[in-house]
Amino acid sequence: MLRAIGRGSISSVLKVVVDIAWVLACAGLGFVVIIAAISVYALANPSASIPGFERIATSSPAEVTRWILNWSALCVGAMIICAYLRGIFGTLINGDPFVPENAGRLRMIAIVVAGLELLRTFVNFVVPLLFVVTGGANGDGTTAATLHFDLTVWMGVLTILVLSQVFSEGSALREDQKMTI
């Protein structure tokens, strides 16, 4: 039977996966920055031909801005979440999951996920409207502003907050047990 905590456990494997995800998020952010620079250049110079990036020149500035903001936030959020998960998996590998820090780490993960969802909603709704107001609409005077509420994400945030409270209670019970022995 596979062990969940300790050295050589599933937690050890998951920590490696999270480490790889953190590296991929960093690389993804670098990719977004490069694409953003090329996009800004292509939008500023519509007559310039950049092989492989012809589609950017035909995209609306609002779409390019939304893409850059959403993917940048996603990469940064993934890096932050991975950093907190690395700490949690580190305590699991050490065989000591119920430490007060893990409750705080889970709480911060929930806050980051909620912040990412709020930012995504803001970017997808407000950015297109700003382009319309400033005269840079999608070419035909319309906007593709969307206001979308993702119940799955918010249920995930609530679940992570509940787990945070469970870890907090677990660490408090563990400290009480240490005092009685």
How confident is the model at residue 15, as a pLDDT? Answer: 95
How confident is the model at residue 10, as a pLDDT? Answer: 93
Spell out a b/e string for 109-143, using b for 16 or more CB atoms within 10 Å of the CB, else e: bbebbbebbebbbebbeebbeebbeeeebbeeeeb
Structure tokens at 31: 């990719």
How confident is the model at residue 139, as a pLDDT? Answer: 47
Structure tokens at 113: 């996920």
How confident is the model at residue 11, as a pLDDT? Answer: 92
What does each of the 181 residues of the chain score in pLDDT, given as a tens digit? Answer: 778 888 888 999 999 999 999 999 999 999 999 988 888 887 777 777 777 666 655 567 778 888 899 999 999 999 999 999 999 999 999 988 889 999 999 999 999 999 999 999 998 888 878 877 776 555 444 556 677 888 999 999 999 999 999 999 988 888 888 787 5
Stated pTM of the model: 0.83
CA distances 29 to 33, 68, 76, 116, 169, Å, are: 6, 10, 7, 15, 37
Nearest Cα to 87, choosing from 178, 167, 165, 172? 167
